């Protein structure tokens, strides 16, 4: 999932004025949803991330339609959110009927093409000038293709992958990187603010997806370094609480360290973003790097490390389970 990272502590350079800190709307949760004018919003894809985002939209007062390819998941969502009135659609095309905005959060390029561009897809019935937002992590290519397909109906298309993980989706504090026209992103922003604390317009169609690839590269590299550091400290018989206290306030600090150091040390990985999905994302990043002629050797290496962990049977565990491939004991002991 751009993970939220704090700047390393340090003294400002003398004589330079620091800019004021932006207001990140701290303290707003799904009990205090961010206000925007109610709209007819249809949400397609009610998985771990999508289900939470849809809930925030309902709590914000939008007129919500939901759709999931497996009807049981839509039924479970309704049962878990009895205070939200929704219309349950029978197909993507049915979900798009009368919608001011359609939002998708599905699995991969093929899933997205099916729910959006197929004969019974959302674009077949979405009204002219409507807003389309996609939160799926997919290739930049299909994001650009969808934007082109939407031109004939003057649709406002935004590729808007998210980061912040399950906890960010539940709390409504996601960071969202957007690709599309300024007009499209401006139209999307009031809706996105129901579950995001940061919405950044990165560039034209496909740029949001490319930024998400950079995000996943950063996470992979950070977790690889953190895995080695924890195992190194364990083998050296250091007090891990003291190690964390010492290094988490300096240049080594990261979201991964703050949120995963202690769970990794205790081999706790039953949460968060699965390794299987991370490998999908890293594959997208490496494909795009090849298209661009960019060198990404660390990304390729960490991807192979994840292959090792998958072979051990841990593909459904959190990405921090990368540490499983490193032995706890000294080599040869």
Domain borders along the chain are 40-204, 211-325
- The catalytic residue among 25, 34, 212, 333 is 212
| The pair of three-digit structure tokens given for residue 212, joined into one six-digit string | 């998400």
Widest distance between CA atoms in the chain? 68
Per-residue pLDDT tens digits for 12-66? 333 334 344 444 333 333 334 445 689 999 999 999 999 999 999 999 999 999 9
Strand partners, 66: 43, 88
Per-residue pLDDT tens digits for 194-210? 999 999 999 999 999 99
Q: Is 53 helix (H, G, I), strand (E, B) or coil?
A: helix
Q: Considering the domain 211-325, what is its CATH architecture?
A: Orthogonal Bundle (1.10)
Q: What is the CATH number of domain 40-204?
A: 3.40.50.720
pLDDT recorded at residue 32:
40
Angle at 244 between CA 225 and CA 23, to 5 degrees: 90
Per-residue pLDDT tens digits for 270-310? 988 999 999 999 999 999 999 999 999 999 999 999 999 99
Per-residue pLDDT tens digits for 97-129? 999 999 999 999 999 999 999 999 999 999 999
- pLDDT of 4 > 90? The answer is no
Residue that is written with structure tokens 């049977």 in the block = 313
CA gap 105, 160 in Å, rounded: 10
- pLDDT of 1 > 60? The answer is no
pLDDT recorded at residue 329:
77
Q: Could you write out the DSSP letters of every residue in 114-150?
A: HHHHSTTSGGGTPPTT-EEEE-S---HHHHHHHHHHH
CA gap 44, 91 in Å, rounded: 9
Q: Catalogue the E-assigned strands of 105-254.
A: 131-134, 156-159, 162-163, 174-179, 196-203
How sure is the predictor about 324, in pLDDT bands with cuts at 50, 70 and 90? very high
DSSP 90: S
Per-residue pLDDT tens digits for 229-272? 999 999 999 999 999 999 999 999 999 999 999 999 999 999 88
197 is catalytic: no
pLDDT recorded at residue 6:
37
| The pair of three-digit structure tokens given for residue 220, joined into one six-digit string | 């992979």
Please give the model's pTM, rounded to 2 decimal places: 0.86
pLDDT recorded at residue 14:
35
């Amino acid at each position: 999932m751009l993970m939220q990272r704090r700047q390393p502590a340090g003294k400002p350079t003398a004589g330079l004025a620091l800019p004021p800190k932006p207001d990140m709307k701290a303290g707003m949760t799904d009990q205090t949803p961010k206000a925007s004018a109610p709209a007819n919003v249809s949400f397609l894809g009610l998985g771990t991330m999508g289900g939470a985002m849809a809930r925030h939209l309902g709590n914000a007062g939008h007129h919500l339609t939901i759709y999931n390819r497996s009807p049981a998941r839509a039924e479970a969502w309704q049962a878990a959110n009895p205070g939200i009135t929704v219309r349950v659609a029978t197909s993507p095309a049915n979900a798009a009927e009368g919608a001011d905005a359609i939002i998708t959060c599905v699995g991969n390029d093929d899933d997205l093409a099916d729910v959006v561009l197929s004969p019974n897809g959302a674009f077949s019935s979405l009204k002219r000038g409507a807003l389309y937002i996609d939160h799926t992590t997919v290739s930049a290519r299909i994001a650009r293709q969808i934007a082109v397909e939407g031109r004939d109906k003057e649709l406002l298309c935004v590729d808007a992958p998210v980061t912040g993980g399950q906890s960010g989706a539940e709390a409504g504090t996601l960071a969202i990187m957007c690709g599309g026209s300024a007009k499209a992103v401006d139209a999307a922003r009031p809706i996105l603010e129901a579950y995001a604390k940061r919405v950044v317009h990165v560039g034209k169609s496909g740029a949001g997806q490319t930024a998400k690839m950079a995000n996943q590269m950063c996470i992979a590299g950070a977790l690889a370094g953190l895995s080695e550091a924890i195992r190194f400290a364990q083998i050296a018989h250091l007090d891990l609480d003291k190690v964390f206290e010492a290094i988490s306030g300096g240049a080594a600090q990261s979201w991964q360290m703050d949120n995963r150091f202690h769970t990794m040390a205790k081999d706790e990985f039953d949460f968060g973003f699965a390794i299987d999905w991370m490998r999908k994302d890293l594959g997208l990043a490496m494909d795009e790097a090849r298209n661009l002629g960019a060198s990404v050797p660390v990304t390729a290496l960490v991807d192979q490390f994840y292959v090792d962990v998958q072979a051990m049977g841990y593909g459904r565990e959190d990405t921090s389970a990368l540490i499983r491939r490193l032995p706890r004991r000294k080599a040869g002991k």
